[in-house]
Structure 1
């Protein structure tokens, strides 16, 4: 049994996930349905137990969304990592008089697997219930355990995504407040493939990027000054009007689905990430990121029509949502769902001069190259966006004989992979026997895989973009302070291991405030960018530069003695553009000091260079 203190710690751990009282999510619902199907039970749920109740994140066969903690079977499952089973509640004195046994839903059988967090707390259970006494097979117990693990994966992913979104929102807010640069913010927002908007305290759009205009089918002028209520689906209006409360209840960042109508009546599903940001007079404004998930929603609806395909597609979706590389899961799922002999995913190389196999059910094909030749069926599908089907590949002028010999394919189906509006790859499905035509089911599941592959490739790109934004100074393109700290720690560790010298320098543009006052802030921004470019051109391969703040820059020179560092840094000093100068202080690691001490010595040397008249390089 848990002590009161242990239970308080457990409940605190549950609250840290920010999931209680959130909207239903398809990823959890899919696992709950699968649990009921695998155990052949009429009821299943994902239940999370707080101080006084058990709240259902997902349920099948139950109308309520929560029960009191005292009535729930699941509270007994919190005390052990093993599955908790009640074969017949009528025969168990703990439950015989339970209102859920004597009344609706008339529970007789219960099996629940505790949901154990990474720090060892039981947050709740994945459980299945029946109205008749029964037992599960060993295989069913194992499958229930496996599904409980997937539920915890979704919970951990949700907590990780919550933290990442909060960090990104905080970074954007800080940059906006520090620079108050609408033009730079607009450039970043307009370049984003994700829809982004800012609304005032009344919910009226203040700005929106082109991606959001495209999603909603409305121009910028048709959005600014208006609210989204006029084109929000009527069933989602209560959620729209409660946006502020939802953000607060979600811990500052809310994620939800919402449906909107385009002017032509086309209904679009949006996945929204919402957070509050302060206005210039302290108003509570709302920043929204919107992704058009209509295709995904339609794919999910089609998925429900084929329960036998659920496990394979769910694996692909889990891979995508976890941020892991889903390519291998895509091709393996295609092999099963299309009853194919061979599946591969093909993507363009960096300059789009050729296509490369990045995942395949036959590992020997990974890395194979396909020329961007208009006579190639694969290349034509990539360039045109049109699917290609050949019932008989032998002798076909657009099918490579080498590919046929390698795979033994006699029928192929090639479909494009779209990420948003652009084509990001091609899926090749092949059979070693002839198919007279591609039936609706095969076409549907291959199209579904292509959609998921597009989401995976797009997500990989977005994660890379977010990483770049989080580690790069937006004005100069150099590393920012956070990235500098991480890189310098790594260089110090390398120097300590190898015994090689490491020199660190701090550079400061002389009289930069005067330059700003005389020429204006735009010219000052240009000076910072031009100096960053000039400095980069004078450094050696392997040197690392960052913007430290304001007009100060830092440089790390690995495997560089003090004398060599002076030559490099003097080149940097003499490269300052626009008839300006800079002062540089540098220090070479003494083999014992920590990073902070090394930087302090370099900064002291910079101060000495300033005091000595500026436009010089001084060693500590």
Structure 2
């Protein structure tokens, strides 16, 4: 049986007991507020304190209200409907008053939600003075676990080391590349201070200073807040140089520092070798700086092309990457020539294909006389000499850099070969990093199952729509939709069938809505819709069309509210949610207007 994690329950009980003791004794109010805030932040968990008479004394979390009414001061029999589940729950409360702890799964008859429940006696100076009960939403826990697993798959596919930490500096995330770079497994690393694992002892003071300066500046916009070169330490004690990029962002409601790192030993060695040529170092540093500042994939690709033209003294450059079809290479960025979108098949006789397939550079000094390259294409661009350099990450080819000159070049100089090779290595890191940021950004705002915007993105979008409606003096309607008896459908057909219904409902409803409307998965089987510029009559018609389009023989209930020109987003959504509740109570499969 799935139950709330033991450590979390111990924390809940300990902090709750402290709060009760403070309330009973009338002691330090600041400590009381701190304990309340801690309890309120427990993820997807409701904590309830009951007295010996089974009346609710305190409540924290989503369960503070039932049907819109506070539960504090009410007897449990006044709150919960008559059922076997309710009887078992009350029995666990009475057992707690007798000193017994219980852990079980409990399904609410009011919300069709299944919780991991834990009840325990609440003691003050050794005497049992009540009951503490904690309820964690299992559906939310399962969804968060699935999202975490999907994120880990993406992170483990990276060639850059990924390490995330909480505000205390303890490791919360660790990918395979981090294990290879630092020697620690994820099981060994997670939960331990990051400085102890990867920072040389002599550098820890400076690292702590950097961290303390970073956390107060949380922006939540997913942009890099730190870029630095530092020394890292392997598990075996070996110290090596690395490049570190850190961004502060929220994931599933928790603020986390995300660090991307790669070993720059080869770059540092090459820099030492190139110290005699100051101009080359300056050019390379400028190019690397442009790449480091590129947080979007398109920016990184354009920066690569600009840098290679400058470093090689060339007239043109193009970045070619595998086409999504897997049949050839497509140009994704260029400098000096307009060739974005150009495609060459892997079966074609072409210099780029040869460089990509052999993982080795290929050069032609005279395009017009070389039949192993696309003579008409490059001749049409006015290029005489062309150099194709593969972009490699380990042994994998990520793409090809095309470098072209309009005047004949006998061969790339050793200097150009060396600098372009270094730039190709930096380009591989920049491309992968920018693509990862794009994917993480999409994941942070998209529901994985349905492809709709998630609740976090919905909250931000609704605030923007309210601001626009206020500015332009236009109507705005909001609806809450909930699939009827969805838990019963899951029980009969299984969770996979239930997931399929959610995906099909999202697809069918999107087809009905206008381009300006916003559909979001609000949580579980509940969805939210915003209708900008739509009055109540028109919005009601659209909602009824959505209900008729519900797939798989399912029905849905809806609550609809129109902005009154003054209320907040929470108030507007609350009216729509109350109307949804009324629709459920009135028999389901209907729309109720607030």
Class of the TM-score when normalised by the shorter of the 2 chains: 0.5 to 0.7
Which one of the candidate residues 412, 419, 431 is aligned to 1:438? 412
Q: Secondary structure at the match of 1:609?
A: helix
CA shift in 2, pair 1:365/1:275, >3 Å: closer
Which one of the candidate residues 232, 254, 262 is aligned to 1:292? 262
535-544 or 438-447, larger mean C-alpha shift: 535-544
What is the TM-score when the length of structure 1 is the normalising length? 0.56
Is the contact made by 2:561 and 2:576 (CA closer than 8 Å) also made in structure 1?
A: yes
Which one of the candidate residues 552, 556, 563 is aligned to 2:526? 552
* Corresponding residue for residue 154 of structure 2: 191
Which one of the candidate residues 305, 310, 313 is aligned to 2:284? 313
CA separation in 2, counterparts of 1:478 and 1:420?
36
Please list the CA deviations of residues 43-83 of structure 1 after superposition, one character each: whole Å capped at 9, or x if unmatched. Answer: xxxxxxxxxxxxxxxxxxxxxxxxxxxxxxxxxxxxxxxxx
Map 1:468-483 to 2 at 5 A.
468-474=442-448, 476-483=450-457
Is the contact made by 2:317 and 2:337 (CA closer than 8 Å) also made in structure 1?
A: no
CA shift in 2, pair 1:478/1:392, >3 Å: same
Matched, 1:179 2:145: no
CA shift in 2, pair 1:548/1:286, >3 Å: closer
* Corresponding residue for residue 258 of structure 1: 231
Which one of the candidate residues 158, 175, 192 is aligned to 1:209? 175
Map 1:523-562 to 2 at 5 A.
527=498, 530-540=501-511, 542=515, 543-549=517-523, 551-557=525-531
Which one of the candidate residues 421, 426, 433 is aligned to 1:447? 421
Map 1:172-571 to 2 at 5 A.
179=141, 181-182=144-145, 184-192=147-155, 193=158, 194-197=160-163, 208-216=174-182, 236-239=200-203, 247-248=211-212, 250-251=214-215, 257-261=230-234, 269=242, 271=244, 273=246, 289-294=259-264, 296-298=267-269, 300-301=271-272, 304-323=275-294, 325-418=299-392, 422-474=396-448, 476-488=450-462, 503-510=477-484, 527=498, 530-540=501-511, 542=515, 543-549=517-523, 551-557=525-531, 565-566=539-540, 568-570=542-544
Please list the CA deviations of residues 559-578 of structure 1 after superposition, one character each: whole Å capped at 9, or x if unmatched. Answer: 76766655653454466678
Is the contact made by 1:409 and 1:433 (CA closer than 8 Å) also made in structure 2?
A: yes
Q: How much has 1:258 moved relative to structure 2?
A: 3.2
CA shift in 2, pair 1:572/1:589, >3 Å: same
Q: Secondary structure at the match of 1:614?
A: coil
Please list the CA deviations of residues 435-469 of structure 1 after superposition, one character each: whole Å capped at 9, or x if unmatched. Answer: 44333211011112323333332232123123213
Q: How much has 1:291 moved relative to structure 2?
A: 2.0
* Corresponding residue for residue 16 of structure 2: none
Extract unaligned runs of 5+ from structure 1: 1-174, 278-284
* Corresponding residue for residue 125 of structure 2: none
CA separation in 2, counterparts of 1:267 and 1:536?
50
CA shift in 2, pair 1:339/1:438, >3 Å: same
Extract unaligned runs of 5+ from structure 2: 1-136, 219-224
CA separation in 2, counterparts of 1:588 and 1:276?
33
Q: How much has 1:396 moved relative to structure 2?
A: 1.9
Q: How much has 1:296 moved relative to structure 2?
A: 5.0
Q: How much has 1:412 moved relative to structure 2?
A: 1.9
Q: How much has 1:401 moved relative to structure 2?
A: 1.4
Q: How much has 1:338 moved relative to structure 2?
A: 1.8
Is the contact made by 2:139 and 2:524 (CA closer than 8 Å) also made in structure 1?
A: no
CA separation in 1, counterparts of 2:475 and 2:169?
57
Q: Secondary structure at the match of 2:530?
A: strand
246-255 or 544-553, larger mean C-alpha shift: 246-255
Report the aligned-residue RMSD: 5.0
Count of residues paired in the alignment: 435
Q: Secondary structure at the match of 1:504?
A: strand
CA separation in 2, counterparts of 1:229 and 1:588?
53
Q: How much has 1:367 moved relative to structure 2?
A: 4.1
Is the contact made by 2:246 and 2:259 (CA closer than 8 Å) also made in structure 1?
A: yes
Q: How much has 1:179 moved relative to structure 2?
A: 3.3
CA separation in 2, counterparts of 1:558 and 1:250?
38
Please list the CA deviations of residues 128-185 of structure 1 after superposition, one character each: whole Å capped at 9, or x if unmatched. Answer: xxxxxxxxxxxxxxxxxxxxxxxxxxxxxxxxxxxxxxxxxxxxxxx99973854542
